[in-house]
Amino acid sequence: MQSQVSAETIAAEDAMRADLYGLLGVVLFKSPNSEILKTLQGLTGDDTEMGKAFSTLAKLAGATAPGVVREEYDGLFIGMGRGELLPYGSYYLTGFLNEKPLAKLRNAMRALGVARGDDVGEPEDHIGSLFEIMSGLIRGRYGPPASLTDQKTFFFDHIEPWAGHFFKDLEAAELSRLYQPVGTIGRLFVGIESDAFEME
């Protein structure tokens, strides 16, 4: 998504949230290249479920060539006609692509000053795009950093209703290898964000 204003300084906790949204967005929107795989190799984790998923992802990123990851990504999300999973909000919420949830998202994006990049062919309700937008809202890439209220509204309107289900499907997908721990991290992160926003 195109940003229109340079990012402002934000709290460390919010920066960590934005970084995780951004990392997941990049990995989900397109197959990781060697540079992204190197970034994933540097991840570390503790003994929690999410920490173990980070450690597993780091090990897999270090042991998997970009070409192999591309084959996995294509099989999961692109395929011959379609991949094993369709990572779009409209599909998860209605069973069809390009439905009302996408129109609702586009209206929200216009209100927030977020524009789809000219070189992007995917519908805006792709899970990777939504996570990139959340990262940008937190960091202030589309204007001043979004308030927690605005972040919460975007999250509950466009991510929370379906992302957890998508990440569970990604964890269990037949073709998931590198993306299995991505699914775990995404599922847990969406749950953490949901609980935190509910407490606000």
CATH number (domain holding residue 183): 1.10.3480.10
* Helix, strand or coil, per DSSP, at residue 8: coil
Sole residue written with tokens 């990851």 = 69
Residue 67 lies in a domain: yes
Residue 2 lies in a domain: no
Long-range contacts of 15-18 (CB under 8 A, 24+ apart): 15/138, 15/139, 17/138, 17/193, 18/134, 18/135, 18/138, 18/139
Residue 17 lies in a domain: yes
Residue 133 lies in a domain: yes
CA distances from 3 to 88, 129, 137, 140, 163 (A): 22, 13, 10, 9, 24
Q: What's the pTM value of the predicted model, to 2 decimals?
A: 0.93
Other beta carbons less than 10 A from residue 25's beta carbon: 22
Counting every residue, how long is the chain? 200
Domain extent, residue 152, equals: 12-199
**pLDDT one digit per residue (tens) for the chain, 200 residues:** 544 444 457 899 999 999 999 999 999 999 999 999 999 999 999 999 999 999 999 999 999 999 999 999 999 999 877 899 999 999 999 999 999 999 999 999 999 999 887 777 789 999 999 999 999 999 999 999 999 999 999 999 999 999 999 999 999 999 999 999 999 999 999 999 999 999 97
Residue 6 lies in a domain: no
Residue 191 lies in a domain: yes
Residue 129 lies in a domain: yes
Instruction: Tell me the C-alpha distance between 168 and 150, whole Å.
Output: 26
Total domain count for the chain?
1
Residue 7 lies in a domain: no
Helix, strand, coil content of the chain in percent (nearest 5): 65, 0, 35
Instruction: Tell me the C-alpha distance between 105 and 85, whole Å.
Output: 21
